[in-house]
Structure 1
Amino acid sequence: MQLSKYSASGNDFLIFHSFISEDRSALAKSLCDRHFGIGADGLVVLLPPDSKEVSYKWEFYNDDGSKANMCGNASRCVAFYAVLNGLADLKHSFLSGAGVIEVEVFLKEGLKANILEVSSTLGEAKVLSTHQEEGLNFTLVLMNIPHLVHFASSKEEFLRLKNDLNFLSRLRKKYDANVNIAFLESKVDVLYATFERGVEAITLACGTGACAVYSLLKSKETKTLIPPSGEKLSVFKVGEKIAFKGSVKRICDINLS
């Protein structure tokens, strides 16, 4: 069995392509284990498409073996993988559990480079509802998957809430959504942290979370979203859709016996 490991904004994924669709939950849990497996945030399997409108479809598994409809940073990783393996053009679409995702790989040094810029256009954000929790305002946004977002009024509040894992975990379970804490550090830079479903902790980065935060900003000019990993993401609008762009690193190829 051959698979590859890629990283985007600190999120790492194991990727391979197959002609067979099957339940790979146990495989994902085994391979993604950082102590007894290879180690990754998720496993992605690329499968032949059901229509000519997309280049492939995917099955995405979290590291605990649970399935997820969408993962923004994984979408950028699979774009790089698909182009490198001749499965798709530089600009293409694929089918996720959350619908069709448009991606583009930008070449500077050719496909032999291990780090390339990749963008992913996720779709339109939909505000579902607003809530108050412990005197704080939260907005529930559907950005392919549900995200609860709060904008901190100060960096101190941002850091305090980011580290209050019990509070974030309770909200995650109550709303069955990723929970994002954000802070506008400048007119361009936005700090954010996402307590992610499946991970059940603050993740190093979350692409859909970055886009959910961006969707609630008054200005729709391009913003720089900065996750805990420190790897910056450019978030912008493409028509009515929200897209984001950042570096993707090809870490290694793996042969499993």
Structure 2
Amino acid sequence: MRFAKLQGSGNDFVVIDNRDGKVEEFLRSLNLDIKEFVKKVCAFHTGVGADGLILIENPENPENHFKWQFFNSDGSVAEMCGNGSRCAVRFAFDEGIVGKEVRFETLAGVIRAYVLDGGKRIKVQLTPPKDYREVSLSLDTQSIEGYFINTGVPHFVAVVNDLEKIDVIKLGRAIRFHPEFQPKGTNVNFIEREGDDAIRIRTYERGVEGETLACGTGATASAIVAYKKGIVSKKPVRVLTKGGEVLAIDFDNDFREVFLEGGVVRVFDGFLRRELFEC
């Protein structure tokens, strides 16, 4: 089965054109469920290795160009993924499925996107953020203040003074599974001011269950929080990711139109062999 691997700001994804339903046929032939399929493909060392897997499918509404199914590396379904959406659009553009202006369907709603620089940069308009609130959490050894906001998926944002000293895995996991955010939990972002229009970020991602090099919806959530709280005063907000790339987040004054822009790389194409799923 043919696939491509793409990465946006260090978030990497396996993308498969499933408009002909070949994935379901493949799963039936192996008596395998989709969750196990995703876990085997995304596993580092024994599989392709990726933060998530994306299936490109036919849209339910013919006015849109495609629909996606998005899976985290543990096989769980996510409503939205900012960097994943940019990789999906780049793949669809490369394959001739879309032109330079795109509409595609996600569980978070219809996403608009724009192909720039021949596909090397992708700009997506995310769904309007919701459920913003200030949150105070009591953990086992400390308390932490932060902000909750949903930018297609839930995010907690904490402002810190020394980003590099944060134990993202330990603290992120404690917040991710905190009773405040049950039953689904939340993604967790730690941010530090870098200038009037810039922040640095580190993110613990739900579903990956670890720190990732970048998170598009997390960068968006963090940029909005930073702007709302006066941590930055100019926009677009530049978000410096753990992977070293910079994401640009822009929005109108009432946050009804929110855009995420950054680079995308098509890393390689390959074929999945049945042997991977039979061992």
Farther-moved stretch of structure 1 (238-247 vs 89-98): 238-247
Q: Which runs of 5+ in 2 are unaligned?
A: 25-32, 274-279
1:171 partner letter: I
RMSD: 1.7
Residue of structure 1 in register with 2:164 after alignment? 159
Farther-moved stretch of structure 1 (179-188 vs 132-141): 132-141
- For residues 143-193 of structure 1, what are the alpha-carbon distances to aligned partners after superposition, in whole Å with 9 as ceiling and x for unaligned? 1111011112x2x2x2233x2522221110112100111111111220011
1:255 Cα deviation after fit: 2.1
1:71 partner letter: C
Which structure: greater helix fraction?
A: 2
Residue of structure 2 in register with 1:14 after alignment? 14
- Counterpart of 1:177 (choices 177, 186, 192) is 186
Measure the CA separation in 2 of the matches of 1:135 and 1:42.
32
- Counterpart of 1:252 (choices 234, 248, 268) is 268
Q: Which runs of 5+ in 1 are unaligned?
A: none
Residue of structure 1 in register with 2:30 after alignment? none
Which structure: greater strand fraction?
A: 1
Is contact 2:168-2:211 (8 Å) kept?
no
Is contact 2:65-2:103 (8 Å) kept?
yes
- For residues 110-162 of structure 1, what are the alpha-carbon distances to aligned partners after superposition, in whole Å with 9 as ceiling and x for unaligned? 46xxxx0111111211243322133432111011111011112x2x2x2233x
Residue of structure 1 in register with 2:27 after alignment? none
Measure the CA separation in 1 of the matches of 2:224 and 2:154.
13
Report the TM-score when normalising by structure 2: 0.84
Measure the CA separation in 2 of the matches of 1:129 and 1:234.
23
Change in Cα spacing, 1:164 to 1:104, as seen in structure 2 (3 Å) is closer
- For residues 70-121 of structure 1, what are the alpha-carbon distances to aligned partners after superposition, in whole Å with 9 as ceiling and x for unaligned? 11101000101001111111111101111111111113xx46xxxx011111
Measure the CA separation in 2 of the matches of 1:147 and 1:242.
16
1:6-155 mapped onto 2 (5 Å cutoff): 6-18=6-18, 19-20=20-21, 22=24, 24-107=34-117, 110=118, 116-133=120-137, 134-152=142-160, 154=161
Matched length: 247
Is contact 2:76-2:207 (8 Å) kept?
yes
* SS of residue matched to 1:76: helix
Measure the CA separation in 2 of the matches of 1:211 and 1:227.
12
Report the TM-score when normalising by structure 1: 0.91
Which structure would you say has the larger Rg? 2
Is contact 1:125-1:241 (8 Å) kept?
no
